Amino acid sequence: MSARQNLSPKLAFVVLLWVCAFTLPWTIQAFLCVLLIIGRFAIPALRPGSPRSARAFSRFILYSIAVATLVSILNAALIREGAIVANIFGISLHQGGLLFGARTASRLLLLSFSILLFFVSTPLPDFIQYLQEKGLPPYLALMLLLTLHFLDQLPIRIHQIFLAQQARGAPVDSGMLARTKALFSILSPLVLSSIVESIERGTALELRGFLHKPQPVKHGGSHMDWLTLLVLSLAIVILSYSIVQWLIG
Amino acid sequence: MADRIAISSFSLQYSPSAPRVLSSISLEIAGGTCCAILGPTGAGKTSLLHCLSGIMRRHHPEAVSSGHLQIGERFFDELPTQILFPTVGLTLQDPHVQISGVRDTVFGEVLFTLENTGMVPENPSGDPACCTGHNPCGSTTGLIA
């Protein structure tokens, strides 16, 4: 049986990154995003748990960078502040708008990268068990479990429905417009089957006494380890410094 | 384990205005015996088992019943309002939802139910082959449940 990860430092790290996303300058946030992408390969605790997770994270990085670039360009075109930095097809891009777009994009990227990297590198069983050990009530654990299962199974389910629609002759692979139209026919069975499966899985868990659990089974100490304390302390220092800076103007 | 299951004149409707899905069922199953309930699709086999396990009221609060149920020492004049774990065990039809997702091995899944009942051994250990069994097949998931 593989050893379970200690999730406290990792969660503290996510908290630290969220604090950074709301307090630090956008250049540092962008730098942290790059560090996270490097960390996904270099730090064992941040490595995706499966090839599917790794693919999903890589795709998300590509799409989100494309969206961030688009957001920055749109802002640069729409917010006409500062000097003109470029002119594309007769549309002027302004420095003020570009900076605003970069700030927004870097913040969103840092928030999404940190949370996504946590989930792709943390096995769902470990996360639920960790929360239960920390005293999460069984009802909340059940709800969270079903939701995360739903998200985990979503791509597989979409693919299955897509294949089923294709087998029944639906024009789902004949161009972008047809695929977009097919999305609507996928949504209905997707939602219905997900609800049914959530009910079934919830019932199965109840039938195995998930909600009757007498007490959490402790696998580790209840005290915080030094790394968690260090990371959380750093988050508090950054937050406090930002609040003081904001108060003194 | 319940030593006896007795059903007498039991009828079920999913709502007061709905037709009866079970009509005046009476049967008695002695403890330690194995009983198969057979019938065509839509005969009410699953509905009966959901009534006996306590799922019916949870999924269909408006369901109405008449007659009596006896499961071990417990008597019910109405549908049980709670899932009767651990008195009644039930494997659902879709084997793939039997895996809790809280554990990632067959051994962990078996241990999961023991933990829920407070019967965890001091140093749980299992068959190594069982411990490493990721992604169990449908029949295995049924056995786990």
At what angle are helices A124-133 and A138-167 packed, to 10 degrees? Answer: 160
| Residue A207 sits at the chain B interface (C-beta within 8 Å) | yes
Quote the pLDDT of residue A71: 87
Query: Residue range B46-56: average pLDDT?
Result: 91
**Are A165 and A52 in a shared domain?**
no
d(Cα A133, Cα A6) in Å, to the nearest integer? 12
Q: Does the structure show a pLDDT above 70 at A205? A: yes
Residue A228 sits in the same domain as residue A191? no
For residue A167, the enclosing domain spans 136-215
Domain assignment present for residue A203? The answer is yes
Rounded distance between C-alpha atoms, residue B97 and residue B116, angstroms: 18
* CB spacing of A200 vs B120 below 8 angstroms: no
pLDDT for the residue B128: 46
Question: For residue A164, which amino acid is it?
Answer: A
pLDDT above 60: residue A42: yes
Residue B68 in contact with partner chain A when CB distance is under 8 A: no
The pLDDT of residue A14: 93
Mean pLDDT of B44-56: 91
Task: Report the distance separating Cα B40 and Cα B114, nearest Å.
Answer: 35
Q: What is the mean pLDDT of chain A?
A: 82
Q: Do residues A73 and A194 share a domain?
A: no
Q: What does the block give as tokens for A40?
A: 């996904």
Residue that is written with structure tokens 């969660």 in the block: A11
According to the model, what pLDDT value does residue B138 have?
57
Compute φ and ψ for A92, nearest 5 degrees. -85, 135
In chain A, residues 42-81 whose CB comes closer than 8 Å to chain B: none
How confident is the model at residue B132, as a pLDDT?
A: 44
Asked if the Cβ–Cβ distance from B55 to A203 is below 8 Å, we say yes
What ipTM was assigned to the predicted interfaces of this complex?
0.73
Instruction: Tell me the whole-structure pTM to 2 decimals.
Output: 0.65
Q: Please tell me if residue B117 touches chain A, with a CB cutoff of 8 Å.
A: yes
Asked whether residue A60 carries a pLDDT value surpassing 80, the answer given is: yes
What phi and psi, each to the nearest 5 degrees, are found at residue B28? -140, 130
- Tens of pLDDT along A142-198? 788 888 777 777 777 888 887 887 787 777 666 777 777 777 777 888 888 888 888
**What does the pLDDT read at residue B45?**
93
- Tens-digit pLDDT profile for residues A15-39: 999 999 999 999 999 999 999 888 8
Same domain, A66 and A119: yes
Q: Are residues A82 and A109 in the same domain?
A: yes
**In this complex, do A1 and B83 lie within 8 Å of one another by their Cβ atoms?**
no
Per-residue pLDDT for B86 more than 50?
A: yes
Predicted local distance difference test score (pLDDT) of residue A215: 54
